[in-house]
A and B are shown apart, each in its own frame.
Chain A
Amino acid sequence: MRDEPCEESRLRRALRTLRQIVYGMTVYDWVRELQKERGELERFFVLVVFGDMIGLPILPPYYSLRLIPYTVPLIDRWKRCILRERDLTDLFDSEIG
């Protein structure tokens, strides 16, 4: 009787593993695609707000200042994305997959 909870949790663990593997084979790609779309929108948004940083003053500073609280958390990611050197072999993941 004492072994039952242990067996049950093992079974549950196995089912969870199986579910996660199937998720990885199927829906995970869709989720990444949506994340990619959101990421691109965020990059575009930060570019509009802080275009000055790369010499493109798109938005008057007043609105940039108003948007600062929303955009500051995104700036690190944005810099990494914009400045990262890309190679054609990168395409084997996101751009073609």
Chain B
Amino acid sequence: MNSLFVLIIAAAGIAVGYGLYAKSIDRRVIQPDNQKATPAKMYMDGVDFIPANRNVLFGYQFKSIAALGPILGPIIAVQWGWLPALLWIVLGTFFIGWVQDYSSIIMGVREEGQTFGALSYRLISPRSRMILLTFIYFYLWLIMGSFGVQVGFNLLTNTAVPLGVIIVILVGLLAGQMTYKWKQDIILTTVITVILALVGIWLGMAPGVRNFFASLYGTAGGKASPTLFLDVTLAKFIGSLLVVIICYFGSVLPIWRWAQPINYVAFWIVSLGVLGGLIGLLIWRPGMGDFPAYRMFDVPGLGPLWPILFVTIACGAISGWHSLVSSSGTARQLEREGDAIFVGGGAMFFEMFFAIMAFLTATVAFGSFDGYVKAGGGAAPAKVFSVGLSTFMNKWGLDKLVGEGFGVAYGGVFLTLMALTIMYLVVRFMRVASAEALGDKFPAIRNMHVGTIIALLLTLALIWLVPFLQIWVVFGAANQLMASLALLLITLWLMSKGKNYTWTFWPFVFMFVTTIGALLYKAYEAFFIKLPQTADPAKYKIANVGQFTAAQVIIGIVALILVIAAGILAYDGVTAIRRYRAELAKGKA
């Protein structure tokens, strides 16, 4: 299939999904009233509650929801064939993705800006708040692990990438200094810092720099990086340490000093990359070559198409992260109820387009399935994306302008920055959550450095011990399960208001069954398929039995904890559904 045709399918999905389905739900079920005061107006405090223009809020929502998920997920998922992946990206967004984002905002707006913790306490049960937080902590840990492996093991180990990342970070700090301390104009700051960042990425490819990192990694002269412990090589060790050091500063420094200005510079790098890739794609318009539409039902290393594909694509179709951001941030800034569909639904459909771009880098950039596998395949999706993006960018002569391999280095820095923008926030949340939960028993955890170090040590354990695809699938399942819990909460809310709830209830049922199925499959695989393999390590090519065992135990236990937490929430949720139904029947009588 031609890439242009894929883009047309995506555009048609957006036109019908947003223009007809989403708008009809908005008009008929939610019936927004633009005259009604939203929490942003009612409780305006200039801090959390503050009305914002719909276009501004659309940009804010999109920036908050778009991370590495919609990029890596589709690239991994094409291993089942391009057709199932494409169908789930489009149909998942069409029937479930936007539903969750939009209704999370609307529920927040109609419930006076309350967030998920408070709403679950009130709508489901008092204990559900604590269970939800436990669930979220494990979910965030999995985000750190899956993003950390890609950045530390696959991106920063490319000798053309680390200097670019370090320079962009330094340039970000300069942007913060220029804006907050030197009070410089934002346009001047942007121009200077973006140019410096681009030069920095280009410098990263200089032979001297690459040789320096090669000698640091022990890969000079084309040698393989020496293994230090488990199966962590020197290059991977340095890459992962670099990740945790950057995240440490992101967690303990004030937001204006570190995370925010770096994210700002990163935004321009990422936007220019997406634009460059899209232009190249439109000029080139390649086909998929021999990339199979459907390969097999059970992909080795991943699992069966159902339920694993549906959790592997993650944020490309639906994501629990979106509901957290939508209810806590966006809902408190919505100026008019009628803006929710554009902000929540529109941003999700826009993210689907992002996922389609990633899907195309995997399926058309290499001309064949073998090319995709040689570029890294599902085990190194970040590499696939950076090489694919560079292929698109080179189609309009970028490589000729700035030197051989610039696109790959650019793609590497691009993805690293995208991952880091979310990772800072996740570590900050883990730090605060652990202080809240355990601070009374262990006062030392209240210290922000201690809380951060604990979160980062947990992250390193995941990065060093567990293979990427195992973390990714469990992360995807936790992410989608979070989404299904959000849909449960929204369904309960709609029931409590006597509104039509089928459009959220069936997506909830599908996502809940699928994600629980995926987690149980992963737990079963870890305990009953993989662990017994340790009896004969030579046959199953297990290099390190201790590490392999630890990885399976971690994945199995985390999957079971998530299933139990979700099970309790669902049990309480069903009890609440019965309660609301009884109340409704009573009201009708």
Show the binding face of B for A, using Cβ within 8 Å: 43-48, 50, 52-53, 55-64, 114-118, 129, 132-133, 136, 179, 186, 255-256, 260, 263-264, 267-268, 324-325, 327-329, 332, 425, 428-429, 432-433, 436
Contacts and interface: CB of A to CB of B under 8 A. Distances in A.
B133 A88 contact: yes
Interface of A: 17, 20-30, 32-33, 35-36, 38-40, 42, 77, 80-81, 84-85, 87-97
Contacts of A21: 55-56, 58-59, 62
Contact of A91 (B46, B62, B327, B429): B429
A25 B263 CA distance: 10
A92 B324 contact: yes
A33 B60 CA distance: 13
A5 to B, nearest CB: 23
A17 B55 contact: yes
Given A81-B45, A92-B325, A87 B429 contact: no
A89 B136 contact: yes
Contact of A38 (B46, B263, B329): B46
A24 B132 CA distance: 30
A80 B53 CA distance: 23
Contact of B324 (A40, A89, A94): A89
Given A25-B267, A93-B329, A97-B425, A88 B436 contact: yes
Given A42-B46, A89-B118, A89-B136, 12 more contacts: A24-B57, A25-B59, A33-B255, A35-B46, A35-B50, A77-B45, A87-B115, A87-B116, A88-B117, A93-B48, A97-B255, A97-B425
9 contacts: A20-B59, A21-B58, A22-B59, A23-B59, A24-B62, A30-B260, A35-B47, A39-B47, A92-B328
Most B-side CB within 10 Å, residue of A23, A36, A92: A92
Contacts of A85: 118
A24 B47 contact: no
Contacts of B255: 33, 96-97
Contacts of B186: 27
A76 to B, nearest CB: 9
Contacts of B256: 30, 33
Q: What DSSP secondary structure best describes chain B's contact surface?
A: helix
Given A24-B63, A35-B47, A87-B117, A92 B260 contact: no
Contacts, number: 127
Nearest to A24: B59
Given A24-B59, A87-B117, A29 B260 contact: yes
Contact of A89 (B64, B117, B260): B117
A32 B51 CA distance: 11
Contacts of B264: 26-27, 29-30
B329 A92 contact: yes
Given A17-B55, A24-B55, A24-B63, A93 B46 contact: no
A22 to B, nearest CB: 6
B328 A90 contact: yes
Contacts of A80: 43, 45
A29 B328 CA distance: 15
B429 A28 contact: no
Nearest to A36: B47
B391 to A, nearest CB: 26
Given A35-B46, A81-B47, A94 B57 contact: no
Contacts of A22: 59
Nearest to B261: A30
A29 B56 CA distance: 10
A94 B64 contact: no
A38 B115 CA distance: 24
A89 B327 contact: yes
Nearest to B324: A92
A33 B50 CA distance: 12
B118 A93 contact: no
Contacts of A91: 328, 428-429, 432-433
Contacts of B432: 88, 91, 95-96
A28 B433 contact: no
B133 A28 contact: no
Contacts of A93: 48, 325, 328-329, 332
7 residue pairs, one from A and one from B, having the closest CB atoms: A24-B59, A93-B329, A20-B55, A87-B117, A39-B47, A24-B56, A25-B59
